[in-house]
Amino acid sequence: MADREQIIKATTDLLHSIPPHVTVVAAAKYHTPEEVLAAVEAGITVVGENYVQEARRMVDILGRRVRWHLIGSLQKNKAKYAVDLFDLIETVDSWALADTLDKRCAAVHRTMPVLIEVNSGLESEKSGVHPEQAEDLIRRVSQLKHLRVQGLMTMGPLLATQEEYRPYFRETRHLFDHIAAARIPGTEMRYLSMGMSDSYQVAIEEGANIVRIGTAIFGPRTYPDPQ
């Protein structure tokens, strides 16, 4: 487990270095509730989880003192749990998933804000809608009664330097601006989620107002042993 004081210092330094309009989502994947709590005590207000099961465990311990974002891919059979746990789902990338989420939200009488995940690197092994398909998906999702599209999210390919991410973030920002200008009814383009520990500075320069940061807060992840 990472040292509590190191997490507090890293979080404090990070938050002081980032413009106030940018929300830092602490990416909690494989980190302990104690580590996440240290980041929260240092000023983190949003925690991101990749998996529904890990999120359930974390929410049970930390409660609702923070907002919870789903930042990993969501399987349709986990949608009903995601609706109960998260305040924002950043990874809607298909009509089938959106439709499933909408039905679950209707059943529990809530409206879920979502981001559309864009596969800006056109990588076959990654989730996300291709940029040229994003507007069509958003127009369909905007007709659902219990989801509200509030922006875009992208990962970008795994690259060696921050600067190499810039074209992917810039393209996603242009797509964000295009969709915002289209004024699609039922859609409010508020959030552009781009950038992680190795790329968040460039992401902010290119217009991100949400960054998802794990290693720069908690240190390197310790991956669980394979079962």
pLDDT digit string (tens) for 98-127?
999 999 999 999 999 999 999 998 887 888
At 223 the pLDDT is 60
Q: How confident is the model at residue 161 (pLDDT cuts 50, 70, 90)?
A: confident
Residue spans per domain, the chain: 4-218
Q: How confident is the model at residue 1 (pLDDT cuts 50, 70, 90)?
A: low
- The answer to whether residue 139 scores a pLDDT higher than 50 is yes
pLDDT digit string (tens) for 89-105?
999 999 999 999 999 99
168-205 b/e with 16+ CB inside 10 Å = b? bbbbbbebbeebbeeebeebebebbbbbbbbbbbbbbe
Radius of gyration of the chain (CA): 17
Query: For a pLDDT cut of 70, what percent of the chain falls above it?
Result: 97
| Other Cβ atoms within 10 Å of 221 Cβ, number | 14
Instruction: Return the ∠ at Cα 222 (arms to 216 and 225), rounded to 5°.
Output: 160
Q: For CA atoms 125, 36, 62, 152, give the dihedral sign.
A: negative
Q: How confident is the model at residue 147 (pLDDT cuts 50, 70, 90)?
A: very high
Q: What is the mean pLDDT of residues 140-159?
A: 94
pLDDT digit string (tens) for 41-56?
999 999 999 999 999 9
Give 4-218's CATH code, choosing from 3.20.20.10, 1.10.287.70, 1.20.1250.20, 3.80.30.20: 3.20.20.10
Q: How confident is the model at residue 209 (pLDDT cuts 50, 70, 90)?
A: very high
Phi-psi label, residue 27: left if phi above 0, alpha if psi -120 to 50, beta otherwise? beta
Cβ neighbours for 118, distance < 8 A, ≥ 6 positions apart: 128, 129, 130, 131, 134, 152, 153, 154, 172, 175
Q: How confident is the model at residue 149 (pLDDT cuts 50, 70, 90)?
A: very high
At 160 the pLDDT is 74
